[in-house]
Amino acid sequence: MKTVYLAIGSNLGNRRQNVLGAAAVMQKTKGINIKKMSKLYETEPWGYKDQPKFINAAVLAETVLAPTQLFLILKGIEKKLGRKPQKIKWGPRKIDIDILLYGDKAVETNRLRIPHPEMHRRLFVLKPLAEIAPGVTHPVLKKTIKELLKKLEPRINTGQHRCNSRL
């Protein structure tokens, strides 16, 4: 079993239900066992700003699936839950599930990069992840999630990058 950390987000439809529904589907999926989930956070959009706010959460899970298998299953869950192909990079979406960390592995293929290449720059990822895994070390940057969050927070313009707990 490998420990994995996932990010779930939604900014279309019933955002809260989309995130919780994705976690429920993952929990019912063979090879994925959710151990812990952060609170839900309402966050400002990142990248493309002209869109609704997101609801985001982080999940700690165990899996027997290889990274590529897990990725394909998560993409299948997104499609099953109504995710449509993106017209705008970082645009609105009903559901988004990303693999943040897969044990202490670094993986790079044409379609998959682990650790997630932008996670250390994103408050909406680090804040919920720090809630459930503050002491976990980023395998490439060699800093804990808590350290990455602490380094990021002073540089955030709070008017543009709020990350408010919803639960």
Residues 15, 16, 83, 122: which is the catalytic one? 83
- Parse the chain into domains and list their residue ranges: 2-165
What is the predicted pLDDT for the residue at 158? Answer: 45
Q: How far is CA 10 from the centre of its chain?
A: 10
Are 25 and 81 a contacting pair, CB within 8 Å?
yes
Q: What contacts 142, CB < 8 A, 6 or more positions away? A: none
pLDDT band of residue 167 (cuts 50, 70, 90) is very low
pLDDT band of residue 163 (cuts 50, 70, 90) is low
**Is 93 among the catalytic positions?**
yes
What single letter denotes the amino acid at residue 128?
P
pLDDT digits (tens, 9 = 90+) for 18-45: 999 999 999 999 999 999 999 999 988 8
Higher pLDDT, 110 or 22: 22
pLDDT digits (tens, 9 = 90+) for 76-104: 999 998 877 767 666 688 999 999 999 99
pLDDT digits (tens, 9 = 90+) for 126-150: 999 999 999 999 999 999 999 999 9
Angstrom distance (rounded) from CA 91 to CA 12? 10
Q: Is this model's pTM higher than 0.95 or not?
A: no
Residues 16, 50, 96, 122: which is the catalytic one? 96
Dihedral (C-alpha) 166, 24, 45, 135: value to the nearest 10 degrees?
70
Angstrom distance (rounded) from CA 157 to CA 81? 33
Q: What percent of the chain has pLDDT over 90?
A: 70
Domain 2-165 coded CATH 3.20.20.30: no
Q: Count of CB atoms within 10 A of residue 135's CB?
A: 9
What is the predicted pLDDT for the residue at 156? Answer: 52
Residues 15, 16, 50, 93: which is the catalytic one? 93
Angstrom distance (rounded) from CA 29 to CA 34? 10
Q: What contacts 147, CB < 8 A, 6 or more positions away? A: none
> Within 13 Å of residue 140, how many CA atoms lie on the same side as its CB?
15
Tokens representing 65 are: 């699936």
Closest residue by Cα to residue 137 from 101, 166, 93: 101
Is the pLDDT at 67 greater than 90? The verdict is yes
Q: What percent of the chain has pLDDT over 70?
A: 87
Residues 15, 16, 50, 98: which is the catalytic one? 98
Is the pLDDT at 6 greater than 70? The verdict is yes
**Is 104 among the catalytic positions?**
no
Q: Count of CB atoms within 10 A of residue 39's CB?
A: 14
